[in-house]
Amino acid sequence: MTRFIYDQFSKDYLETLLSPYGKVEAAKQVPGEIREIDLYFKPNSPILPPELGILAQLAATASIFEPYRNPVTITQIKDCLLKLLAVTAQLQREANRDKRTIINSELPRLWIITPTASQNILQQFGAQLEANWDKGIYFLPPSLNTGIVIIHQLPVKPETLWLRLLGRGKVQQQAIDELVNLPSNYPIKSVILEVLYTLQKNLAVNQETRETEERELIMRLAPLYQEDRAKAIQEGFEQGKAEGILEGEARGEARGEARGKQEEGINLILRLLSRKLGDLNPEIIQTIRQLSLEKIEMLAEALLDFNNQQDLENWLQENSSSDS
């Protein structure tokens, strides 16, 4: 079960990074025996944003991405090559029907992304480093149009960050720390954090998660998620109060503006509660909407400690009486 969680995370993660810059097809089926490509990408432009680092180089042309959570095996590499050959044959047939010659740049390149790979496997497939590429990126013979990205061999630098986030253990932990330390307005930071939070949530509810590595990842992401949400809520309230006061002074409508911002804060809290605890019943929602601004701010901090709806109901019973 855990493997499928990471498979979905990898697809969501790469799709989030690449979809603004081209056409992404996840779980793309190929002819013959039913196989699915994890991610098929066709860029809108040959030049992708530099913020993507080395991933921009990988995705500069049509690409098949096959990420693996565990070290890739010989059988898995062969299966990936079958997918590439099937797609290439399909494109060739389409070109023949249209009576045109297909050019090499139209053919997709296969990228197999793996945390580690043995030297024996690399040798069996003739994988070699190339001078213009970073350590950790190996290329099979040219006719195969395939590269193997070994995440844990990549140099630690900003250009490799988005690939190292797909690694394991300390490599992934360090990449997460680097992501967190990026400026808050850094492009794609917030959307990638959301993908990581989804991974954390799926791992947390998976009863089969018993490996130390998964537990450590959950523990690393959980407080990060809480801090991020608490900060967003607090900033929303502070901005709402400030804007309400300023606009109220200008228009004599401070109370109305503040109430509008308070409503936005309540809606945000309701979304967070629903995401953490599941669908809320109408009575709880109505009780929350009747809370004062002060109690709403208290709830924004308290919700981080709730484990179920009973915790929320207990809190409301203790704190809503003076607001009724």
For 87-152, the three-class secondary structure string (H helix, E strand, C coil) is: HHHHHHHHHHHCCCCCCHHHCCEEEEEECCCCHHHHHHCCCEECCCCCCCEEECCHHHCEEEEEHH
Average the pLDDT over 54-73 and give the result. 94
Q: CA 220, CA 177: separation in Å to the nearest integer?
A: 9
- DSSP state letters, 7-20: HHHHHHHHHHHHGG
Of the ranges 151-155, 241-245, 310-314, which one carries the lowest mean pLDDT score? 241-245
Q: Please say if the pLDDT value at position 254 is more than 50.
A: no
Adjacent-strand bridge partners of 147? 111, 139
Average the pLDDT over 9-31 and give the result. 81
Higher pLDDT, 290 or 41: 41
Higher pLDDT, 51 or 202: 51
- pLDDT category at 211 given cuts 50, 70, 90 is low
Question: Strand, helix or coil at 247?
Answer: helix
- pLDDT category at 228 given cuts 50, 70, 90 is low
Q: Please say if the pLDDT value at position 83 is more than 90.
A: yes
User: Are 160 and 135 within 8 A, CB to CB?
Assistant: no
What predicted TM-score, i.e. pTM, was given to this entire model?
0.68
Average the pLDDT over 181-208 and give the result. 80
Angle, in degrees to the nearest 10, between helices 212-251 and 189-205: 130
| Phi, psi of 64, deg, nearest 5 | -110, 125
Average the pLDDT over 184-189 and give the result. 83
Higher pLDDT, 75 or 269: 75
What percentage of the chain carries pLDDT values higher than 90? 35
| pLDDT tens-digit series, residues 135-182 | 999 999 999 999 999 999 999 999 999 999 999 999 999 999 999 899
Q: CA 23, CA 59: separation in Å to the nearest integer?
A: 11
